[in-house]
Structure 1
Amino acid sequence: MRLAVMQPYIFPYIGYFQLIYASDKFVFYDDVDFIKGGWINRNKLLVNGKENLFTIPLEKPSSFKLINEIDLHPQLYTKWKKKIKRTLEQSYSKAPYYEDVIPLVYNVLDHENDKISDLAMKSILSICEYLNIDRNFYISSEKFSNFKEINRSDRLIEMAKKLNTDEYINMEGGKHLYDKNYFSENFIQLKFLKPKFKKYDQGREEFFSGLSIIDILMFNNKESAREIIKEFELV
């Protein structure tokens, strides 16, 4: 059984869903430090033929707060939501699967919550439901709060053991953080996921990879999107 753990990101890129697909059990890591300038409240869409970064406005975001302590900005979020809806309509209304995907996106954006962590988790779970990716999901602050004070590697090992998994999968960017031998000594096999960015038709010659999952869904049916998600390597 495989475990993967990741901070909740808003409508994340394909690699995030590849990590979920590669796992049997997935933990949303919501009780670790918020990273300003990270991907928790930001992502990229295709606007006017170029990749464009969108950022959800937050109230007093700080690296000294946990992700689940960060609020959406009560006034600016409403204004931003109207803007991003216009952007989506202008940029994707001619995409082949716009009518299928836009209600899902709007349902997430209109969901009543105050925290960016809740909104991000809602976006991920909604996509998984849409694509029929059925996994066991957990929230670290709810199930593993008693492990908060131990170091990063030991906390992940304890999560894996508590969930009766014997493999832990991390994105390849964590190779410098985690040691395979240390995990092995604790009876957990550590693997790293290397995402692949399979090209798909974006309605233009130049291809932009690493955009929000929204872009993939706008240009691919469910079956094709699932095939794109399956394109990864475990090392």
Structure 2
Amino acid sequence: MPHRPIESQRANGDAGRFVTPDEELTRPATTGRVASAPKRVAIMQPYFFPYIGYFQLIKAVDQFVVYDNIQYTKKGWINRNRFLKGGRDETFSIPLKKDSDYLNVVERRVSADFNKRKFLNHLSEAYRKAPHFDPVFALVEQVVMLAELNLFAFIRNSIDQTCAYLEIATPILVSSMLPIDHALRGSDKVIAICNALDADTYINSIGGRSLYDKDEFKRNGLTLKFLQSKPIEYRQFGAAFVPYLSIIDVMMFNEKSTVRDLIELSCDLL
């Protein structure tokens, strides 16, 4: 059996926390659906401190599902992201234990040799003069120093803690805990998850526009919408703006209230 991470609990109430397996499985349900569930749902892979559009999607829905039982992709962004270094973007990665390329994310492990303090020092050098360095670096340090080697649990915690910092209260569910046929793929799996949660609207990032068909969702009683981020620009260190970086960059250079406004107001549903 793959390692099943223990669900994290928040000290800061229920805002944006992950629903535990016991909570999910003890919810009253009829015909495979979670009773009285919210209506707007989004589903995404886990990403380590993802870009702002990820949090726009979380904020736009009533329930957010994060995949844990999907295959890890070496060339993807699950354990990688970009931050600002010397006026340019620089990629950082969470090193992984060598293992089969066919394992799911929840079955992968963070390398025991991951030099967390070196990583944090590198980030500190890049952002120590940013206006909101102290609170944001404290957040990142708390996440990075988590004593957890399960990749999904480690990455999920970055999403969880960022939601807490930004006061995003959307409940976040783990895909493997939902009562669906997990052998399903593509739109069939998305529709099954929406049905299990009694959703009437599925919201996907704009990048999935070529993957999903509105008529197919309509035939299954669902409205399909796409979230498109508006161009976002803010002052970094005075040089030309570098876009599409980790949410770390947005938080380093903006008041928390400004970040919340960018999340809520700088996107459209199509």
Global fold match (TM > 0.5): yes
**C-alpha distance in 1, partners of 2:195/2:83?**
38
SS at match of 2:130: coil
Q: 1:221 Cα deviation (Å)? A: 1.0
5+ residue gaps, structure 2: 1-38
Deviations 1:173-210 (A, max 9, x none): 11221111001000011111112231111022300110
Report if the CA contact (8 A) 2:87-2:239 is conserved: no
Deviations 1:6-38 (A, max 9, x none): 011000001111111111100011111111121
**Does 2:234 match 1:196?**
no
1:54 matched to which residue of 2? 92
Deviates more, 1:81-90 or 1:98-107: 81-90
User: Which structure: greater helix fraction?
Assistant: 1
Match of 1:154 among 188, 191, 205: 188
TM-score, structure 2 length as denominator? 0.83
Deviations 1:47-88 (A, max 9, x none): 11110000110012554111111110112x1x2x12221112
**Does 2:253 match 1:215?**
no
Report if the CA contact (8 A) 1:34-1:62 is conserved: no
Q: Residues 40 and 165 (structure 1 numbering): CA distance in 2 closer, same or farther, change over 3 Å?
A: same
Report if the CA contact (8 A) 2:42-2:57 is conserved: yes
SS at match of 1:71: coil
Letter in 1 for 2:188: D
2:67 matched to which residue of 1? 29
Letter in 2 for 1:194: Q
**C-alpha distance in 2, partners of 1:132/1:183?**
31
Report if the CA contact (8 A) 1:36-1:61 is conserved: no
Q: 1:143 Cα deviation (Å)? A: 2.3
**Does 2:176 match 1:138?**
no
**C-alpha distance in 1, partners of 2:94/2:185?**
30
1:104 matched to which residue of 2? 139
1:121 matched to which residue of 2? 156
**Does 2:72 match 1:38?**
no
